């Protein structure tokens, strides 16, 4: 893990993860889904306060290991053993480590958010997942709100999916088992944070139409989700943030630029340059990694750049002819065992061009995406920001996007920004050595090592208690 921008309150590191970077599994070995019953409560809890220290003890067991931390975050990790006697709890402190992030740890795990409540919690609520609905304009959106156990109001975040029709889990039909937002929600629920994830408009259980919607429309839906959380009785309205992936990161920056009351933003594989520039870089990366020859890759890059220029200018007739010529040439360059019969090349090229023109280039989303520059929004974001890129991301290149983001945040005067590249990680934050999109479905369906640790540590340091 390489940290490229380090400012005040940045606590990311490259040490071995303290958490298991894997999604929860049911006893039968399958990944848990939102349809499974809520998790059983991992603990009850109570709080002991003395001078400037806070000790948060949570365990259903008669004995457990605990850690003592200072609210000022000057000292943590005072190991001890806690026992219950006639309903009371005691802890004996054995050692103290100074200068680390304030955290609460147990033999069974770690709760770095450490949100303490100053009363007995013998009847605390259990961690749970709720099916919820809320409205965005005249559209009803459906999602899942995961709530941690414990009394009081919790910090929370809204997850924002990437491009294409996405459900609340940010799942991909072509990648069985990939449910990153479900994994993240469960992990953060176990670490004291509520998460609202929802189906995009026109997807899953949400109403509305996906077709014809742009990033600006999706941003309004996310703002409706934020408003819903701020009104929820179990959520701290002053502690609501955003986590976006890919296009979702751009949307997060868009919202953060105009909502000063957001608490934080986590950007995952987010572009920091305009869509045209991003696509030019992405197409080159993908073409040269997948095309059968360098000549073929160069043709793809030149043709796509010209197609995007004609799209921005809305010169549809010229674009259609350009696409016909492009596909005709590509078919003719294919090896004999892959090329269509000679008499079918022309009609096939025209059919493909017509389909692509309507489905992609004339799509309002694509036209909006090409001209939108997220840097203009990031340069107005002053709240804490964590931006994570994958070392082997061929879709949103880390080397191409890091510096523009850092420069935009500098222009904003943002002093709480951290930009990190996660090693051996692709665009989906799955572990890989290549980043090739063709291998996505063959990879282990779990976050790359260190990902959950990185995000949770940063939230621990930047989410107010």
C-alpha span between 155 and 143 (Å, rounded):
18
Q: Is the pLDDT of residue 352 over 50?
A: yes
Mean pLDDT for the chain overall: 78
Q: Give the containing element (helix H, strand E) for 3.
A: strand 2-5
Q: What is the DSSP letter of 267?
A: E
Q: Is the pLDDT of residue 215 over 70?
A: yes
Per-residue pLDDT of 169-194, as tens digits, reads 999 889 999 999 999 999 999 999 99
Q: What is the DSSP letter of 40?
A: P
pLDDT on residue 2: 55
The strands making up 63-68's β-sheet, listed across from edge to edge, are: 63-68, 75-85, 88-98
pLDDT on residue 127: 82
Per-residue pLDDT of 40-89, as tens digits, reads 333 333 333 333 333 333 333 333 333 333 333 333 333 333 333 233 33
Q: 362 vs 115, which has greater pLDDT?
A: 362
C-alpha span between 77 and 65 (Å, rounded):
11
pLDDT on residue 173: 87
C-alpha span between 112 and 320 (Å, rounded):
55
Q: Report domain extents, the chain.
A: 2-22+125-274+372-462, 45-111, 276-370
Question: To the nearest whole percent, how much of the chain has pLDDT over 70?
Answer: 73
Q: Which of 47, 32, 59 is nearest to 183 (CA)?
A: 32
C-alpha span between 130 and 147 (Å, rounded):
8
CATH classification (class only), 2-22+125-274+372-462: alpha beta
Q: What is the DSSP letter of 294?
A: H
The predicted model scores a pTM of 0.72
Mean predicted confidence (pLDDT) in 415-444: 94
Task: Decide if 200 contacts 165 (C-beta within 8 A).
Answer: yes
Q: Which two tokens stand for residue 418?
A: 């951290």
Q: Is the pLDDT of residue 236 over 90?
A: yes
pLDDT on residue 65: 38
Burial class (CB in 10 A: 0-12, 13-18, 19+), 8: exposed
Question: To the nearest whole percent, how much of the chain has pLDDT over 90?
Answer: 62
pLDDT band at 447 (very low <50, low <70, confident <90, very high): very high
Q: Is the pLDDT of residue 108 over 50?
A: no
C-alpha span between 208 and 201 (Å, rounded):
5
Per-residue pLDDT of 34-53, as tens digits, reads 444 444 333 333 333 333 33
Least confident of 149-153, 250-254, 457-461: 149-153
CA dist list (Å): 334 to 286, 330, 354, 454: 18, 6, 21, 44
Burial class (CB in 10 A: 0-12, 13-18, 19+), 112: buried
Q: Is the pLDDT of residue 102 over 80?
A: no
């Amino acid at each position: 893990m390489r940290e490229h921008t380090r400012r005040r309150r940045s606590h990311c590191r490259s040490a071995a993860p303290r958490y298991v970077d894997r999604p929860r599994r049911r006893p039968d070995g399958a990944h848990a889904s939102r349809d499974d019953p809520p998790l059983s409560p991992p603990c009850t809890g109570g709080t002991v306060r003395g001078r400037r220290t806070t000790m948060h003890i949570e365990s259903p067991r008669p004995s457990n290991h605990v850690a003592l931390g200072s609210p000022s975050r000057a000292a943590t990790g005072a190991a001890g053993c806690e026992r219950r006697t006639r309903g009371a709890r005691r802890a004996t402190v054995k050692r103290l480590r100074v200068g680390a992030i304030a955290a609460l740890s147990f033999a069974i795990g770690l709760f770095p958010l450490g949100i303490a409540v100053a009363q007995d919690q013998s009847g605390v609520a259990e961690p749970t997942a709720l099916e919820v609905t809320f409205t965005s304009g005249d559209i009803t959106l459906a999602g899942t709100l995961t709530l941690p156990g414990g009394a009081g109001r919790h910090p929370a975040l809204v997850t924002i999916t990437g491009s294409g029709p996405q459900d609340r889990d940010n799942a991909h039909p072509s990648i069985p088992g990939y449910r990153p937002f479900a994994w993240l929600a469960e992990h953060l629920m176990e670490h004291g944070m509520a998460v609202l994830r929802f189906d995009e408009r026109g997807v899953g259980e949400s109403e509305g139409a996906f077709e014809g919607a742009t990033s600006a429309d999706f941003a309004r839906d996310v703002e409706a989700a934020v408003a819903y959380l701020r009104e929820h009785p179990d959520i701290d309205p002053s502690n609501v943030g955003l986590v976006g992936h890919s296009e979702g990161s751009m949307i997060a920056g868009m919202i953060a630029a105009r909502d000063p009351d957001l608490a934080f933003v986590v950007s995952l594989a987010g572009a920091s340059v305009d869509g045209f520039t991003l696509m030019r870089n992405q197409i080159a990366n993908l073409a040269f990694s997948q095309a059968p020859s360098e000549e073929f890759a160069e043709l793809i890059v030149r043709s796509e750049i010209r197609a995007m220029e004609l799209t921005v200018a809305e010169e549809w007739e010229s674009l259609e002819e350009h696409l016909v010529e492009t596909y005709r040439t590509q078919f003719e360059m294919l090896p004999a065992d892959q090329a269509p019969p000679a008499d079918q090349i022309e009609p096939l090229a025209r059919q493909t061009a017509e389909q692509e023109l309507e489905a992609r280039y004339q799509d309002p989303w694509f036209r909006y995406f090409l001209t939108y520059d997220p840097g203009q929004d990031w340069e107005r974001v002053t709240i804490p920001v964590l931006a994570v890129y994958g070392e082997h991301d061929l879709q949103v290149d880390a080397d191409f996007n890091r510096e523009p983001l850092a420069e935009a945040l500098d222009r904003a005067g943002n002093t709480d920004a951290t930009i990190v590249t996660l090693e051996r990680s692709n665009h989906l934050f799955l572990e890989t050595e290549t980043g090739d999109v063709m291998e996505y479905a063959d990879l282990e369906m779990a976050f790359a090592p260190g990902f959950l640790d990185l995000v949770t540590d940063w939230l621990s340091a930047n989410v107010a208690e």
